[in-house]
Chain A
Amino acid sequence: DVKVTQSSRYLVKRTGEKVFLECVQDMDHENMFWYRQDPGLGLRLIYFSYDVKMKEKGDIPEGYSVSREKKERFSLILESASTNQTSMYLCASSLPGGLSEQPQHFGDGTRLSIL
């Protein structure tokens, strides 16, 4: 079974802090993703990576950056946290390839509160 592990289930930080959310997957997947989940809005893609050191912006990248130095690890960085970044953050991984039935596999999420 694919395992996607997010380093924290709950995190509380202060406005202006630099925040790191870590994600590790154990299935050698090329693709990794960061989403945020807000009530009524579903999941929205922040960034994704299709290879080490490669990244692409998703639908809502503003205020975020990412790092992928190793294939199994994908980090989301909030350079200067703001209260509107309080949310649930979900990491996912998947195999590459165009249209396929390969699903994305998700971690358990990190509920981040910015005070």
Chain B
Amino acid sequence: AQKITQTQPGMFVQEKEAVTLDCTYDTSDPSYGLFWYKQPSSGEMIFLIYQGSYDQQNATEGRYSLNFQKARKSANLVISASQLGDSAMYFCAMREAKRGAGNMLTFGGGTRLMVKP
């Protein structure tokens, strides 16, 4: 079974609108962390936001917020007020405590977001 599933291979959003990128995960580990990364066409991976499994509040970082629904095992990324520079691939990733101190991540297949002017 896929550990991280991103069901939207590609999506469009109008500039200045909000957009939600879906991520569901599968783990039996009670301790885990969820990350979102952005990959522009230039190729570098940019860390956006983190949510720990025991965090009581949804994480926020500027225009990025994470809609964390633990019972549904979903960790959707919400980008408010989209900008043209938000056009990129977005990856959801999970770190499980049971994998040890190596800080290994499991990634989803990614969502390509395109912002229309």
Contacts and interface: CB of A to CB of B under 8 A. Distances in A.
Given A31-B102, A48-B102, A56-B102, A99 B44 contact: no
A40 B33 contact: no
Nearest to A110: B43
Nearest to A104: B105
Interface string A89-101: 0101011111111
Nearest to A101: B50
B81 interface: no
B9 A90 contact: no
Contact of A41 (B93, B100, B105, B109): B109
A32 to B, nearest CB: 10
B33 A101 contact: yes
Interface string B82-111: 000000000101010100111111111110
Interface of B: 4, 6, 9, 31-33, 35, 37, 42-45, 47, 50, 52, 91, 93, 95, 97, 100-110
